[in-house]
Chain A
């Protein structure tokens, strides 16, 4: 009997702090599988952000730098320029990347830094208690929009992947989800593609992954998983938005 599914080597065999059904664990595994596939574990420097993604260094068996809130792309820029032979990726949530870190991500992308960004969008601030994020959907109730987000007061949810696709410096940009096996397989493919861009030195690559946050959405794991397909995929369309090298 042969083992057909096992834990990737780049992922430590430890218990995570994520809530039941949280997609962070799934996305961690997909990133670790991509690191394994390209044999990058020894020369990878992961850049962790602030949020539930903060414990990257506990869960990945790679070198990790923990950065101040939103500054992961700036730190990644420094690491990649100082050590061009290293493989550098950031792993950021929407509160980190799309709110406090907007300046950093836009300018790192516009400069076409040779790094990869994994952007986990769960439409809320997960770690701090479910506050409204720039990506919160209209009508969505959060602890700081108890009557639902309204466009007149709080504006519209930011589509970060489309926004970055418009920049010349971006080589690859895609949005994926992990709510169904089909979407998950596609997410795996796009993360590997993004890594390949950096391995081949082809420039800035960006993958957004839609994720659930059962606890802050006030749902159980299965309901939250369904919401990703029902509501999030409607507004945040999945697909490859930019693929300059056509890998």
Chain B
């Protein structure tokens, strides 16, 4: 089962990952990290992650790791 790991200390909540996810399974949460940013989280309620890594490619902070 493919999965992504979002490093919550590195995420700046820019949301670029969510705009490119074909399954729309990344959402911006209300969780705030140590820098004060609201971070992106994996939410597979609407569709499961397929491990395409587009989110990781778009992430300017290399905060997403992809496993397949």
Q: What distance in Å separates the Cβ of B54 from its nearest Cβ neighbour in chain A?
A: 5
Q: Which of B12, B20, B68 contacts A21 (CB 8 A)?
A: B12
The answer, yes or no, to whether A20 is at the interface (CB within 8 Å) is yes
| CB nearest neighbor in A for B61 | A25
| CB nearest neighbor in B for A1 | B67
Tell me which residues across on chain B come within 8 A of A4, comparing CB atoms: 51, 53, 66-68
Q: Which of A1-51 contact B (CB under 8 A)?
A: 1-7, 11, 15-16, 18-26, 29
Tell whether, in the assembled complex, residue B67 and residue A15 are in contact, meaning their CB atoms are under 8 Å apart: no
Bound: A214/B37 CA distance, A: 15
Bound: A197/B67 CA distance, A: 33
Bound: A217/B23 CA distance, A: 30
Q: What distance in Å separates the Cβ of B16 from its nearest Cβ neighbour in chain A?
A: 6
Tell whether, in the assembled complex, residue B62 and residue A221 are in contact, meaning their CB atoms are under 8 Å apart: no
Bound: A5/B61 CA distance, A: 13
User: Would you list 18 pairs from A and B whose C-beta atoms are within 8 A, ordered by A residue?
Assistant: A1-B68, A2-B67, A2-B68, A3-B66, A4-B66, A5-B56, A5-B66, A6-B65, A19-B12, A20-B60, A21-B15, A21-B16, A22-B60, A23-B60, A25-B60, A26-B58, A180-B20, A225-B16
Chain A residues close to B by CB (< 8 Å): 1-7, 11, 15-16, 18-26, 29, 180-181, 184-185, 214, 220-222, 225
Tell whether, in the assembled complex, residue A181 and residue B62 are in contact, meaning their CB atoms are under 8 Å apart: no
With A4-B67, A5-B53 known to touch, is A222 a contact of B15 (CB < 8 Å)? yes
- State how many residues of chain B have any CB contact under 8 Å with chain A: 27
Chain B residues close to A by CB (< 8 Å): 3, 9-10, 12-16, 19-20, 35, 37, 51, 53-54, 56-62, 64-68
Tell whether, in the assembled complex, residue B60 and residue A181 are in contact, meaning their CB atoms are under 8 Å apart: no
Q: What distance in Å separates the Cβ of A95 from its nearest Cβ neighbour in chain B?
A: 20
Tell me which residues across on chain B come within 8 A of A221, comparing CB atoms: 14-16
Tell whether, in the assembled complex, residue A184 and residue B60 are in contact, meaning their CB atoms are under 8 Å apart: no
Tell me which residues across on chain B come within 8 A of A180, comparing CB atoms: 20
Bound: A7/B9 CA distance, A: 15
Q: Which of B3, B54, B56, B62 contacts A25 (CB 8 A)?
A: B62
With A4-B51, A20-B14, A21-B14 known to touch, is A15 a contact of B9 (CB < 8 Å)? yes
Bound: A220/B51 CA distance, A: 27
Tell me which residues across on chain B come within 8 A of A181, comparing CB atoms: 20, 54, 57-58
Q: Which of B51, B53, B62, B65 contacts A29 (CB 8 A)?
A: B62
Tell me which residues across on chain B come within 8 A of A185, comparing CB atoms: 57
Tell me which residues across on chain B come within 8 A of A18, comparing CB atoms: 60-61
Tell me which residues across on chain B come within 8 A of A2, comparing CB atoms: 67-68
Tell me which residues across on chain A come within 8 A of B15, comparing CB atoms: 21, 220-222
| CB nearest neighbor in B for A29 | B62
With A18-B60, A26-B60 known to touch, is A3 a contact of B13 (CB < 8 Å)? no
Chain A CB within 10 Å, residue with most, of B10, B12, B35: B12
Bound: A225/B20 CA distance, A: 12
